[in-house]
Amino acid sequence: MTEVRIVEDCAASADTAFAFVNDYRNLPKFMYGIESFTPVTEQTDGVGAKFDGKMKLGPASLTSRIEVVRWEEGAVIGTKSIKGFEIVSTFLFQAKGAEKCTVDAVIDYFVPGGMAGKMLGKTIEPFVKIAVKHTAEALVREIEKAHRQST
């Protein structure tokens, strides 16, 4: 298992940050390597919503079906893969006043065992560092942009 953690302060309300991340259409705006993220259920937010996603990290293309397993409006979005590449993510939103919040994102991914898993892990490892840096910067930038547009 590899854990990627992003903790960033944003010049935006926690409600704006939550709403931005909760809208699946925004994922490609901040998540590095996302090629597609498509709902497979009519429900597109809240516990039970499911999505098919494709991500490219370096030469590796990874696909997963993701389900929202934790959802508390304005506070938490948690997902886990139910098919394909194994990934678990949690986004926590904490208000720090009306115009500031902290976004705490934890993304855990698991490569399969054996020789193929070791090779995949070695292949994507350098790209994960790039992905974390890009995702953190883009997440803050895009949330703050959404906040400015809503005020």
Overall number of domains in the chain: 1
φ, ψ for residue 44, nearest 5 deg: -115, 5
CATH code, 129: 3.30.530.20
pLDDT of residue 29: 93
Judge whether residue 131 has pLDDT over 90: no
Average pLDDT (128-142) is 82
Whole domain around residue 42: which residue ranges? 2-150
Rounded to two decimals, what is the model's pTM? 0.85
Contacts of 146 (CB under 8 A, 6+ apart): 12, 16, 19, 20, 26
DSSP character string of 19-55: HHHHSGGGHHHHSTTEEEEEESSS--SSTT-EEEEEE
pLDDT of residue 126: 65
